[in-house]
Structure 1
Amino acid sequence: MHRIVFLDRATLAPQIRLRRPSFDHRLVEHARTRPAEVAERLSGASIAITNKVPVTAETLALLPDLKLIAVAATGTDCVDRQACRDRGIAVANIRGYAVNTVPEHTFALILALRRSLVGFRQDVLAGAWQQAGQFCFFNHPIRDLRGARIGIVGEGVLGQRVAAIAAAFGMVPLFAAHKGASGLGPLYTPWEEMLETSDVITLHCPLTAATRGMIGLPEFRRMSRRPLLINTARGGLVVEEDLVAALEDGLIGGVGFDVAEVEPPDPSSPLMRIAGRPDVIVTPHVAWASDEAQQTLADQLIDNIENFVAGKPSNLVGGAY
């Protein structure tokens, strides 16, 4: 019998149905798990499920029965994959489930910021409409999307879907070449050119050693068109202190972030210091979380586990296979 432990079931909404695997098993679900509790809770487990709870090399050394870590997300930076390889532990992730929800959330942020919806809503609630003396007022900028250049960092399925939606709005999509790279062909816009010519920049790339802190003050200072910066990928891609400085210095026109470097962010963190501004929207890492996307994720999660046990592993990203 397989012992399966879900370390952070609360990262899926309660209305999402998690079907039981078809093989003989015992499933234990924990709403949340602190790092210090991981080894004890996974003791004797052959399969671990985690969304964001870290599984470190030190923890893996204490888990001789573990055979599979099924990550309930696409990103696997919460798992020490090299340690898994060393110990013959497979790692599987979820793919393709967010192809609608993340791009739609991205454009919700873009549209709200481009048309200053937050600022106008705040003004209406404060009574500015009644004080205007006419049928409308113009306290904030309003810009169309048509003709605007959108720089897309990340050319995977999410970046491609964002480009398709952008084109439907009449925008000009630019796929950014990797920072510091050259010779990637005509489909890619050089990194520096993307920074300098985009009206909107949106991030859809993984967090790796190469991408951590990829946008800081040197990059902000090249953004001559004062673009909106949208991040529905990972918080560590942007240096948050530099983001605050760029906004305060007028180097960018607005911020739409669904992620933070530390989640949840401390109230005194750079991102939270600017969260109340009308040109900033911060959402709590929910771009991925439409009901439809979550159910697709949950079904694929169990598919990955069943396939592994059947000897036909799917969506492996590292480990023993």
Structure 2
Amino acid sequence: MNIVATDGYTLNPGDNPWDEVASLGELEIYDRTLPDELVERCKNADILIVNKTPFSGETLAKLPHLKFITMAATGYDCIDIKSAGNLGVPVSNIPVYGTDTVAQYVFSSILHLAHNISIHAEAVRKGDWSKSKDWCFWKRPLIELKGLTIGIIGFGRIGRRVGEIANTFGMDVLANDIYTDESPSYNNFRWCRLEELFEQSDVVSIHSPLTEDNNGFVNYSLLSKMKPTAFFINAARGGLVNEIDLASALSQGCIAGAVVDTVSVEPIHLDNPLLTAPNIFITPHMAWGTLSARKRLMVGITENITAFISGQAINVVNKQFLG
């Protein structure tokens, strides 16, 4: 089997060997692949390993040997899975590798906002503490999470883990998910409508997959329903959020702050409206990237390819389109 990894650098920048994957076939690894390089690099591939490289139906149709695609990720919105299915190519993802890592990022973001860490660290660096008349000070209110409400949109593996951590902090948990109605075991939990979730939550955290139906669904209408003291977190996909509306909500004080790890076009463009919005922290799609998570990802890729070669593909996300 000829195996091609189109964008392997983020998975292994030098600390996460490909050895197990390489044992499964002839492996060719590219750190990055530009759109006009795709067909030439992948034309002989039986199997593709893809993180974020976009594959349109037109491109897939030009790969005559292609039999299988495994994502090096949970999300698969960069692949035209319908076209892949129509070509008889199953697409598999890695559903569980980043659950704890991304949930950790979400709560580190919430805690950062709750204590205004960067503002106070910068104040100390500028000498404000040295000049203070008291032994301590704070420039903005400090927030205790116990008794507050978190609203979680998308209650899959990551959303559930975020809910478990929130419960440990003593928070009430609201959730909205169109795919499941399975409630967790703790008591301070309730399903609710999307509008109600935005209205009642002190923190809103998104964990939905990006689809054609929910592109940009977080808009000004929903954001303006939030408490002016509330925080918004997006560690899912940037395309879920109308970025102009989020920037407006921040500028107008509709919400107190936001942390986003993803934006609609990545790498971020310098004209993205979030770059000039107040009270927002933007990180470079790194929530998933701990070494522990990337090692699990490499194991998942190996398992997906092994299962496909054995004739029993697992984690297939385009079954409905396969003939």
Tell me if TM exceeds 0.5.
yes
Gaps in structure 2 of 5+ consecutive residues: 184-188
1:138 is displaced (CA, Å) by 2.1
Q: What do the CA deviations read for 1:132-177 (whole angstroms, capped 9, x no partner)? A: 2221122112100000100000110111111100010011111125
Distance 1:266 1:24 in 2: 38
Is contact 1:199-1:225 (8 Å) kept?
no
The aligned counterpart of 1:282 is: 282
**Pairing 1:257–2:256 present:** no
**Pairing 1:15–2:15 present:** yes
**Pairing 1:6–2:5 present:** yes
Q: Which of 228, 244, 247 pairs up with 2:247?
A: 244
Q: 1:9 corresponds to which letter in structure 2? A: G
Is contact 2:5-2:29 (8 Å) kept?
yes
Q: 2:6 corresponds to which letter in structure 1? A: L
Distance 1:21 1:171 in 2: 42
Is contact 2:231-2:258 (8 Å) kept?
yes
Distance 1:208 1:65 in 2: 28
TM-score normalized by the length of structure 1: 0.93
Q: 2:79 corresponds to which letter in structure 1? A: V
Instruction: Look up the SS of the partner of 1:79 in the other structure.
Output: coil
Is contact 2:21-2:301 (8 Å) kept?
no
Instruction: Look up the SS of the partner of 1:130 in the other structure.
Output: coil
- After superposing the two structures, state which structure 1 stretch, 289-298 or 129-138, moved more: 129-138
Q: 1:6 corresponds to which letter in structure 2? A: A
The aligned counterpart of 2:210 is: 207
Distance 1:317 1:57 in 2: 16
- After superposing the two structures, state which structure 1 stretch, 4-13 or 126-135, moved more: 126-135
The aligned counterpart of 1:220 is: 223
Instruction: Look up the SS of the partner of 2:70 in the other structure.
Output: strand
**Pairing 1:33–2:36 present:** no
Is contact 2:114-2:143 (8 Å) kept?
yes
Distance 1:34 1:309 in 2: 28
- After superposing the two structures, state which structure 1 stretch, 145-154 or 123-132, moved more: 123-132
Question: What's the Cα RMSD here?
Answer: 1.9
The aligned counterpart of 2:130 is: 130
Q: 1:174 corresponds to which letter in structure 2? A: L
Distance 2:251 2:95 in 1: 37
Instruction: Look up the SS of the partner of 1:205 in the other structure.
Output: coil
Is contact 1:229-1:255 (8 Å) kept?
yes
1:70 is displaced (CA, Å) by 1.0
Q: Which of 171, 196, 201 pairs up with 1:198?
A: 201
**Structure 1 residues 76-95: aligned runs within 5 Å:** 76-95=76-95
The aligned counterpart of 2:148 is: 148
Distance 2:23 2:227 in 1: 58
Q: 1:190 to 1:81 in 2, by over 3 A?
A: same
- After superposing the two structures, state which structure 1 stretch, 26-35 or 262-271, moved more: 262-271
Q: 1:117 to 1:26 in 2, by over 3 A?
A: same
Distance 1:248 1:184 in 2: 37
1:125 is displaced (CA, Å) by 1.3
Q: 2:2 corresponds to which letter in structure 1? A: R
Distance 1:213 1:15 in 2: 36
Q: What do the CA deviations read for 1:257-301 (whole angstroms, capped 9, x no partner)? A: 111111110122112223xx5x32211111111111110011110
Aligned length: 314
Distance 1:129 1:51 in 2: 45
The aligned counterpart of 1:112 is: 112
The aligned counterpart of 1:233 is: 236
Gaps in structure 1 of 5+ consecutive residues: none
Distance 2:24 2:91 in 1: 21
The aligned counterpart of 1:269 is: 272
Q: 1:7 corresponds to which letter in structure 2? A: T
1:18 is displaced (CA, Å) by 2.0
Distance 1:49 1:148 in 2: 42
- After superposing the two structures, state which structure 1 stretch, 217-226 or 194-203, moved more: 217-226
Q: 2:3 corresponds to which letter in structure 1? A: I
